[in-house]
Amino acid sequence: MHETGLSEAIVEAAVRRAAGRRVTGLRVRIGGHPVDPEVVTQGIQVAAAGTVAADAAVDLVLEPMTVQCHDCGSSGPITDHLAMVACPQCGGVDIDVTGSDDVVLESVTMANAELGAV
């Protein structure tokens, strides 16, 4: 997954949703392939610079995919890309990979000049 493009798309969606209001927080759910949360958070902060989302707090919820091996019976979260093609325990390729690879902008918190954060 390319964290830069992902971060830019998240910020673009938040800015559209904010419709000119200042964004103070973002909650993003990322499923699927392993990503580095620090890289994604920094990418969002860089992409948000100079926009209404500059300096917004970022809350990432990571939901890794899981692998179930039919050969040895092991199961668990996918922690690297190799686990998507072979079992991390036995190396078997008779596996099922489950989970969503969706990225969802769950919420955008915006400042309201009269009421504080909304």
Question: Which structural domains are found in the chain, ordered by start?
Answer: 3-113 (3.30.2320.50)
Residue with the bigger pLDDT between 33 and 107: it is 107
| Selection from 38, 44, 3 nearest residue 23 by Cα | 44
Beta bridge partners of 31: 63
Distance CA 14, CA 64 (A): 23
pLDDT of the residue at 58 = 97
pLDDT of the residue at 67 = 93
Residue 108 has pLDDT above 90, yes or no: yes
54-89 per-position pLDDT tens digit: 999 999 999 989 999 999 999 998 888 888 899 999
pLDDT, the chain, mean: 90
Residue 116 confidence class, pLDDT cut points 50, 70, 90: very low
Distance CA 86, CA 54 (A): 41
Tokens of 6: 């992902």
Q: Is 64 in contact with 79 (CB distance < 8 Å)? A: yes
Minimum mean pLDDT range among 19-28, 79-88, 109-118: 109-118
